[in-house]
Amino acid sequence: MHQVTIDAHPTEQAIVVRFDQSSGSPSNTLKKRASSANVESLGYQKVINLKELSPNVDIRTLSNVILQICLFIPATSRSQLEQVLYFLQKRGTPRMSSSRSRSSSTVSFDRRSSQAAVLNVDLDKVDEYIECFYGETSAEKNKGAVALHELSKTPQNLTALVNNGISVCQRCPNVHFPETLMMALARVFREDWKKHFDVATNIMNLFVNMSKFSIFHGILLHHKIGSLCVNAIEHETKRYDLWIAEMKKADQETQRKLKNAIRKQAMLLAACITMLTNLATDISVELKMVRRNLVVLLVKCLQMSSDSPNPLTTSTVKFLLKLSIFEENKIVMEQNGTIEKLLKLFPIHDLELRKATIQLLFNFSFDPKNVPKMVNGGLVPHMSSLIESDNKALNMLYLLSCNDDAKAMLAYTDAIQSLMRDVLSGRGSEVTKAVLLNICLEKRNAQLVCGAGGQGLDLLIEMSMESRDLMLIKVIRAISSHDGPTQNMFLKWIDKLLDVAKSEGTDNSESKSSFGLECMGAVAEIKVAPWAKIIQSHSLVPWMKDQLQEGIDESQEVTVLREIKPLQLQIVITCGTMARQLDAARLLVPLIDTFVHLLQSCQIDDEFVVQLLYVFLQLLKHKDLSARLMTQDSELGAHMIDLMHDANAAVREVCDNALLIMGEHSEDWAKRIAGERFKWHNAQWLEMVERDDHEFNNYDNEDFGADFNFDNFDDDFDMNEKLF
């Protein structure tokens, strides 16, 4: 077949395939195939009717179906086929047919010689169809299988089919099993599935139609249809490997035949896996399947179809999704490289397959070691392009956005624009805001959210203030944590954020107090603000002192803080930011005693201690204030020395930096600190020296020799005896 051309039918929703006669002209086999596909033959012209081509049909998926069914269209003509299909879809149907197709497929094929496009079958002729199974040729058997499969498409016919030839089972007198039909189907499948794919596929599709209803599961299990399916999957996966090895060294004609066989094999395996999926609604049946190593077989089937997704891919992914609920199955999938095979499927145009694949990857993503595999496999851009149309993709992107590499990748996608558009329009869900929060932890992403002039940040703050949305204010706080140009964008909002923090941060309502707390947290990150002016204009020192002293009990000898409130921690963090500026640090001097009392009373809370020590460190950096903190009787210095060997590494680091500054500013403190360090590093040696000195002083010099009687001491040594 050469010079294949594909055109749109002038009046019908159909495509016209034309090809010229050559040395490789169509043989009788090709004519038979065309006839069996219900294709109208006009010499070397084929007309394929597409009666159900609606605007919602996916063109790529439809072209895959046509190429699988119509063997006379080469794969190299895919682009031409898709162009014609797109034209027909846009043109619409000029003339609608009065008769409706009963086929469940998107593509239907009609014969011009007959008004009926569907196979004419009769429920009363079931016995005749069963007789076809006793024919000598596969064509006769397939005729019966096709007829019975056509009948099974109507759910009302299933009961009559399974009740054909009922006899009472001796073991279960109350349960009826249709031996005649079911036994014949099971026998033919068992004998012919290795030789005749068409017969086996039609029979298995009949079983699939039955397995959709749980009432028929007992009948299928009684005839061991599930076991036959597992056997078929196991055998076909091995045969697939042999065929692939044979194709590498075969001629072109043999390769064509093997490709055709592999395509039919995939259809059979898809039907088997779908049937097993339906039967697996019973957990005990599912466990039996797993014990037969079905998970590994399914992963192999996924590998077989990963290069060109087809119905086998969809059925395999759906069953893997169901099995992935159990941790044991998920571990086996991970060990066999399921994640890598799923990532190769993208981009996925089939909606059903894409939905199942994303759900399966979502189940895998809860294991932290799997997320880097997905990120490195390029999943982030694919999920970013789907978040507007697929909630599953949005959920998947949320888990991916917890990874630092994924955050960096999102800067080069359209995800930020999509998320901002949904949030600002009011359509954004909590998941949308959570994804935005995660990605704003990356500096580059935060800058993109804010925009060049800060318009994005202004819109977020205005919306959060109007709605008091806690997630949005968390996003704003995440943006404020970055240095650079975004810091200056907050200057015009710092007064508003402080007012909200002061008014709502101490509210008894949890929602208001949480919102005020986040506002205070955002303010604490603004390092470029004119803090001296802000402290005076908002009278922050008295307010902060009142808040920090709340809960401190000074009636006891040791100051005790009953409970550390989150707002108190944020105030201390804010003071650390303010103390970086000398003018603001001078205004914080009245709070030093309060800070020292807090340091005495909250030794258990490491985070609070670190932030307090950081405030002192910033104050010590200013020479004008360091003398105030480093008097001889300073409690701060004593606390610093006590904490320089704390178990918490962050506490030790801040203390070391503070003590270093104290030693540089004061020679007395330098000696004291050096002495304390010497005592710490040589504590064991000093302890031994002190103990030895104490024991030696207990002896009286006059009585030292009383314990030894030298007169009675004999060491067998004679002074008069010659040594040599």
For residue 482, pLDDT beyond 90: yes
Q: Which residue, chain included where needed, has tokens 């012919």?
A: 192
pLDDT of residue 522: 95
- Report the relative pairing of strands 560-561 and 2-8 from DSSP bridges: unpaired
For 3-23, what is each residue's pLDDT tens digit? 678 888 777 788 888 765 443
Query: What structural domains does the chain harbor?
Result: 4-21+45-91 (no CATH), 548-684 (1.25.10.10)
For residue 486, pLDDT beyond 60: yes
Give dist(CA 184, CA 182) in Å, integer: 5
State the Cα torsion 687-688-690-695 to the nearest 10°: 140
DSSP one-letter code for 126: H
Report the percentage of the chain scoring pLDDT > 90. Answer: 47
HEC letters along 18-81: EEECCCCCCCHHHHHHHHHCCCEECCCEEEEECCCCCCCCCHHHHHHHHHHHCCCCCHHHHHHH
Please check whether residue 411 is in contact with residue 448, taking contact to mean a CB–CB distance below 8 angstroms.
Answer: yes
For 666-705, what is each residue's pLDDT tens digit? 666 666 766 666 665 555 655 665 665 555 555 454 444 4
Give dist(CA 470, CA 626) in Å, integer: 40
Name the average pLDDT for the chain: 81
Give dist(CA 669, CA 631) in Å, integer: 9
Q: Which of 59-68, 141-150, 219-228, 376-385 has the lowest mean pLDDT?
A: 59-68
pLDDT of residue 8: 81
For 177-199, what is each residue's pLDDT tens digit? 444 788 889 989 998 888 889 99
Report the percentage of the chain scoring pLDDT > 70. Answer: 79
Q: Which of 25-39, 265-279, 658-672 has the lowest mean pLDDT?
A: 25-39
For 566-577, what is each residue's pLDDT tens digit? 888 999 999 999
pLDDT of residue 297: 95
Q: Return the H-helix or E-strand segment holding 3.
A: strand 2-8
Q: Report CA-CA distances (Å) from 431 to 362, 394, 416, 423.
A: 14, 7, 14, 10
For 285-303, what is each residue's pLDDT tens digit? 999 999 999 999 999 999 9
For residue 718, pLDDT beyond 90: no
pLDDT mean over 271-283: 95
- Which band of pLDDT confidence, cut at 50, 70 and 90, is reported for residue 410? very high
What are the tokens at 338?
């399921």
For residue 171, pLDDT beyond 50: no
pLDDT of residue 689: 59
Bridge partner residues of 18 (DSSP): 5, 45
3-state secondary structure of 359: helix
Which of 110-124, 437-451, 584-598 tops mean pLDDT? 437-451
Give pairs for 381-384: CB < 8 Å, separation 24+. 381/409, 381/412, 381/413, 382/346, 382/347, 383/358, 384/410, 384/413, 384/414, 384/415, 384/418
Q: Which residue, chain included where needed, has tokens 């955002």?
A: 522
Give dist(CA 520, CA 167) in Å, integer: 80
- Output 483 or 68, whichever has higher pLDDT: 483
What are the tokens at 459?
């819109």
Q: Show Cβ contacts of residue 52 under 8 Å, excluding neighbours closer than 6 positions.
A: 101, 106, 107, 108
pLDDT of residue 563: 60
HEC letters along 573-599: HHHHHHCCCHHHHHHCHHHHHHHHHHH
- Which band of pLDDT confidence, cut at 50, 70 and 90, is reported for residue 109? very low
pLDDT of residue 682: 57
pLDDT of residue 397: 95
- Which band of pLDDT confidence, cut at 50, 70 and 90, is reported for residue 543? very high
pLDDT mean over 421-447: 94
pTM: 0.72
Q: How many CB atoms lie within 10 A of CB 167?
A: 10
For 600-649, what is each residue's pLDDT tens digit? 877 778 888 889 889 988 888 888 787 777 665 567 777 777 777 777 88
pLDDT of residue 457: 94
For 330-350, what is each residue's pLDDT tens digit? 999 999 999 999 999 999 989
Nearest one of 439, 470, 432, 476 to 454, comparing CA atoms: 476
For 392-402, what is each residue's pLDDT tens digit? 999 999 999 99
pLDDT of residue 64: 81
For residue 558, pLDDT beyond 50: no
Q: Return the H-helix or E-strand segment holding 351.
A: helix 351-364
- Output 43 or 568, whichever has higher pLDDT: 568
Bridge partner residues of 166 (DSSP): 178
Q: DSSP characters for 524-578?
A: TT--SS-HHHHHHHTTHHHHHHHHHHTTEE-SSSS-EES---HHHHHHHHHHHHH
- Output 667 or 710, whichever has higher pLDDT: 667
Give dist(CA 151, CA 568) in Å, integer: 75
For 60-102, what is each residue's pLDDT tens digit? 888 888 887 777 777 778 878 888 887 787 776 544 333 333 3
Where b means 16+ CB within 10 Å and e means fewer, 112-147 reads eeeeebbeebeeeebeebbebbeeeeeeebbbbbbb
